[in-house]
Structure 1
Amino acid sequence: MDSEPRMASMNEKDYYAILGVSKDASTDEIRKAFQQKARKLHPDVNKAPDAEERFKEVSEAYAVLSDEQKRSRYDAMRSGSPFGAPAYGGSTQGYGAPSDPFAGADPFGWGFPFGGTAYRRTSTRRSRAYNPRAGADVTIDVELDQETARKGTRRGVTYQRYVACDVCHGSGSVVSEHAETCPTCGGSGHISLDLTGLFGFGVMEMECPECEGAGKVVADPCEACGGSGRVLSASEVVVDIPANSHDGDEVRVKGMGNAGTNGSSSGDFVCRVGVAAERVNALQARGFQTVGFMLPFLVLGAVSGTIVSMLPFLVIMAVIAGMQISRGGGVGHGGTWWKKAATHVGNGVLSGLLLALLMVLMFQCSPYARYSGGAGV
């Protein structure tokens, strides 16, 4: 299932804590604190795995706090709630996109009647970025036995997903019809930090922490969804799995996946059918690939008249293939299983053919081939 992760937004971060200064620190104190941390964390000096990420973080903090206008806007954004909700447009709850709906919870309940009770909650995510994105599909796997797959079945599912916000009708904005240019980056989606005077490193460019690289922000964010245009909710869907379904088949319900942000289209709900009896497991797959791998050498031996010399190699490969298929559960039944097995054989044939051709080319270029007049292959 796609949880559509996003980077932490501007007012989720405590820039003062990152730099280790108080909220009433002077510009000079902020500059000195940044210099000390940047010297220790710059990737050219610090080889720790997280040094580059921490350097970018302190640079981002300095870029905002060293600019009076950006600092004032940042302080205003964090003054509205314990999470640092913004104060733009008179909003009292801040802005944001929903957090991961599937963290720490089983998103599915099967059977009739539906076990889940529809619920809705607002987000604790704080961001006013205007970033229209199509919603991701919600995908589940359902295992069926062969008889059920042959007859077909109906399944009810209760699951969590993003849905369009009822208050702003999915736009993310209550009053304004259009997004506005990000005041932090001026619409570029990036902010620049000149480190030439401090360390001689030149200009560093990073993603704007307020618009998250979009260049636009929601002018008057909806308090219910935080400006994203969608909220987390429980949904129910009935999936009709048709008769004669096979392992790997998909049943798609249009528009029942995650809603898009800021009015974008919704994804689909996808039910992926699994039939264990039709599935070629990993060991069986390796066995059939081994069978395919030896076939080009069998043909090469027959054509060149060297089948006798290749016999030990072919016997060893056949034994290995047999052991792999046997340990994987043996040979399955049904046309779908054999089609998948044949696909693995074909993959093995391609690998074996490439190696066989390489061996022929190497022989043709060898001194022995020139001495024997090319005979023997």
Structure 2
Amino acid sequence: MEYKDYYKTLGVERDASQADIKKAYRRLARKYHPDVSEEKDAEARFKEISEAYEVLGDKDKRATYDQLGSGWHQGDDFRPPPGWDFGGGRAGNGGFGGADSAFSDFFESIFGGGDPFAGGGFRGTRGYQARGGGFRARGEDQHAKITITLEDAYHGASRNLNLQTRHADGRVEPRQVRVKIPAGITHGRQIRLSGQGQPGMGGGERGDLYLEVNIAPHRQYRVDGKDVELDLPVTPWEAALGAKLQVPTLGGWIDMKIPAGSSSGKRFRLKGRGLPGKPPGDQYVVLSIVAPKPETDAARELYERMREEMPVNPREKLSVS
């Protein structure tokens, strides 16, 4: 039987990445799909392309195929190596064989045969289906980004997205999709909208839409996963004497005690006050001591008296090495 050089069929090198293989397949599939192509050999080429991607687009099948080595060439007479597991391949004419063969005998001798039309149609070529001589192709998935506020991530929200649908005939159709943003979603997570991607060919099902969530920077919180962090300004006497302060959280104001003798940079944890979830995130409060400017003579005298009565060198542990 004839050896099939799947790399040559897709026009890629043997060391091509999976992403490059997928890109080459999509380009050729659009060019030779029988429903849209004007090429005379479109159906045969589409089958060859689909078979090649069935193998090279699957890491396990690709590894098995690569075990044959690179010494085979397109058109060579191929016989599987001694001891190779034929996996139930069927004899045939070495090509695509008409109505009783979905893949070539070369493919079936390596990966096995069986009834490719069980259930009324062949599935397995990455979303393509052959039925009664025609082909249906699942539409491509779409990827987009959506920017939301931290408040949206905390409470959940709904948004309308303006997208474009590209049809096989080149038409571009604007459309609007409403997406529900679940409460507790984190930065970088994806939302999958089933059937909201590009339309399929020949009546095939639509692909999916994947939205990557970007949480916009917030004016007072920093976000790390489900945790949030807040800088809390305090006066020198609140830090020195201790205080009970109101602290903002995403869920509202709460009371928090500052122990006496607290210093700037001290970190407090408010359990469960971050983004919701199972478990929820936490909120961390970082003290930032703010010293008021001495606007009056009395205020200046107070600072002078503090310097005399409470001598301290906060830099005594610093060194040049």
Please indicate, yes or no, whether the TM-score normalized by the shorter chain is above 0.5. no
In our comparison, the structure showing a higher alpha carbon Rg is 2
- Structure-2-length-normalised TM-score: 0.29
Q: Of Structure 1 and Structure 2, which has the larger fraction of its residues in helix?
A: 1
Ranked by relative contact order (alpha carbons within 8 Å, sequence separation 6 or more), the top structure is 1
